[in-house]
Amino acid sequence: LTGYVEKPDLKGLLDRRARIMLPEQGEYAYVATMEALRNAGIEQDYINAREIGILYGNDSSAKSVIETNNIIRDKKDTMLVGSGSVFQTMNSTVTMNLATIFKLRGINLTVSAACASGSHSIGLGYHLIKSGLQDCIICGGAQEINKFSMGSFDALSAFSVLESAPEKASRPFDRDRDGLVPSGGGATVILESLESALKRGANILGEIVGYGFSSNGGHISNPTVDGPVRSLQRALKDAGMPASQIDYINAHATSTPAGDSSEARALHEVFGGSKPLVSSTKSMTGHECWMAGASEVIYSMLMMQNGFVAPNINFENPDEESAKLNIAKTTIEKDIIVFLSNSFGFGGTNSSLIIKNYPK
């Protein structure tokens, strides 16, 4: 089971030389970034006149690496891999390609932090802008969708095996969850200082007010409660907000037994007194891995703009931990002023972002 994303047709958008440098996830990131820049009202002339940066999450180029290796092994000639191969196979492929295509002259850095990559890219961009080092940064995350990048997850028995009912396979927080459904694509947000955005009359979608981070400091894949709790508390402290001010939480919950349970315990420890609405959009999208931290911020902003909380579908039977949370089983009409988005990754990396509605 996996999510499906249509391969972009970039002919007519990029010349051949640029196209052969881009791996699958780079193509997704390019299309998402084009859309984000258009939505932000930023044109190439504006970029050319300023030091706009890029911080983008990516943690694999598995397909490009394996295909290159196959050519070298089968043909016995490294010259036959093609001139674009070396650029496709690096983890920094997305930032190096987009920085070249869009002629970016600010920070140029890949954030490689497993399934928290996209979220950390936004949090780090927020801090760079807050500190006055940059005015505008392209942030996001991209994930390739192929057997080479996803197959190794199966060695951990992390995938759902509910192939007879694929629409029921991703069931975060449900008692009968049996694993995640992998997915991917590209998600881009444009971060900008308020002064810069107001000056050019930008369409402001939301304001980042808090970023929390932590490391579990334990097992490479087994989750903890303490690590996420510290990330959540740091985000609230950074935002200067009590837990009761959070209206909605888009949980990391991927539909794995251990991961969802530990996050539910962490959320209850921090938000048990206020019980904000919680859902995992992964129940509908699958787990978009390196992209998820960015895409889930976008999904949550859509909810904030349109006054609703998206459901945690397939949540039919709570377990002991999830029963303590206020999980949205169906779409709920609600004005969201402040939301929090969680992203956690292998190695114990945790990221929590708090975003506030910007009054028009």
300 neighbors 308 (Cβ within 8 angstroms): no
Q: Which of 183, 182, 160 is nearest to 171 (CA)?
A: 160
- Integer Cα distance of 249 and 89 in angstroms: 35
* Active-site position among 115, 136, 139, 289: 115
Helices 292-306 and 117-130, packing angle to 10 deg: 70
1 neighbors 144 (Cβ within 8 angstroms): no
Residue 98, CA distances (Å) to 26, 31, 133, 141, 320 in order: 8, 10, 20, 12, 45
- Integer Cα distance of 312 and 251 in angstroms: 10
* Active-site position among 120, 252, 268, 289: 252
Whether 127 is catalytic: no
Whether 136 is catalytic: no
Helices 24-40 and 93-101, packing angle to 10 deg: 50
Whether 252 is catalytic: yes
* Active-site position among 120, 136, 268, 287: 287
- Return the active site residues: 115, 252, 287
